[in-house]
Amino acid sequence: MRLRYFIYAQLLLVLALVISCVTEFQPGSVSIPTSLIVEGQITDQPGPYSVKLTKTADYSYKSLNLLETGATVTISDNLGNQEVLKEQSPGGVYVTSANGIQGVAGRSYKLTIKTKAGKQYESDAEVLQAAPPILKLYYEYTVETGGLNFAKNQGWNVYLDTKDPEVLGNYYKWDWQNYEFTAVCSQRELPNGTLTGLGCCSNCWNITRCYNCISLSSDANINGQAISRQLIMRVPYKSTSKYYLEVQQQAISKGAYQFWKSVKGLVSNTGGLFDAAPSSVQGNLHCVNDPATLVYGYFGATGVSEQYINVDRSGGQGTPDADPIPIVPQPSACVVCENSLYRTPNKPRWWQF
């Protein structure tokens, strides 16, 4: 999802720059080639794994249905193992079975796609490398200067320590996700400004991620040495309760590192004349039966090391900068806690509360 938004944003910036440098005119429509966008990976952790297929479209596109549905999506390795992924409803997301194919360090993996229009796509094969373990995960309380809201200035920086292997050519990407228990699965704002909502039919956790935070590193200058105080994220002072955080250290390929480095450059673009163009992040996929067809995204084979931490926020000063709490009428109907990127009924792996 975030990759598609990055591409659209950069195309719009380029368009704005071009229009601002020529005599103003009113075009009937602006067209860009329809291209496939692929997001997915296989890891050495248990699945299921998912691959999301979407499409670019004209700026004047009205439907907003950008999902690539009805495709045949297959993950295979160099030993002949393979699995055809099952498309989820409402479509565009293809998932392996819970007991299906699993990544193994040392094997190479690739993705093949056949769309219902007959186009065939394939990723370059990638060798999966095991990730070194996370040696330490810790946090420090800090107060930033400036700003009118003292609660917003407070936070806990989460850091990671690890050890790079002796072999040169290791590349890293760090991701995180926060789980927070919620009793409200639907909410809306009333005309008077108050929030009302409906409870969850089962236990439910909201999931928070940072979709435009791209944290990368390589061992080009520190081969075989310790990686210390790698900043993962900053925990906000929105409550005095503990903040449950899962951190993922990924061992990625050189190609994946270069791809995400390019994406990170696009995210930080200011729209200047010398900013990189979106086409510079096409990734490791190509169209087999039409080499001129563009395809964006990356399919990676990734080694993963994970660890969790509970950040104690009871030492924050003053009143937290808390979000409004919806009022749930009693008794009330309940809403199903659907499993998605943003919410899950499944208890987090290390949840202790």
Residues of the chain short of pLDDT 50, as ranges, are 5-6, 8-9, 11-27, 63
- Please count the other Cβ atoms lying within 10 Å of the Cβ belonging to residue 248: 19
Cα distances (angstroms) measured from residue 299 to each of 39, 175, 348? 6, 17, 26
State residue 15's pLDDT score: 41
What is d(CA 3, CA 145) in angstroms, rounded to the nearest whole number?
A: 33
State residue 274's pLDDT score: 55
Q: Do residues 300 and 135 make contact, with C-beta atoms less than 8 angstroms apart?
A: no
* Nearest partner of 248 among 162, 165, 168, 182, judged by Cα: 162
State residue 22's pLDDT score: 45
State residue 56's pLDDT score: 83
Residue with tokens 């900068």: 321
Phi and psi dihedrals of 20, rounded to 5? -70, -15
What is the Cα Rg of the chain in Å?
23
State residue 19's pLDDT score: 40
What is d(CA 107, CA 79) in angstroms, rounded to the nearest whole number?
A: 8
Cα distances (angstroms) measured from residue 287 to each of 85, 164, 259, 283, 295? 19, 36, 18, 12, 7
pLDDT in tens, 278-313: 556 779 999 999 999 999 999 999 999 999 999 999
H/E element, 152: helix 150-153
H/E element, 18: helix 2-20
pLDDT in tens, 41-78: 999 999 999 999 999 876 555 545 589 999 999 999 99
State residue 11's pLDDT score: 45
H/E element, 151: helix 150-153
Q: Do residues 40 and 20 make contact, with C-beta atoms less than 8 angstroms apart?
A: no
State residue 18's pLDDT score: 40
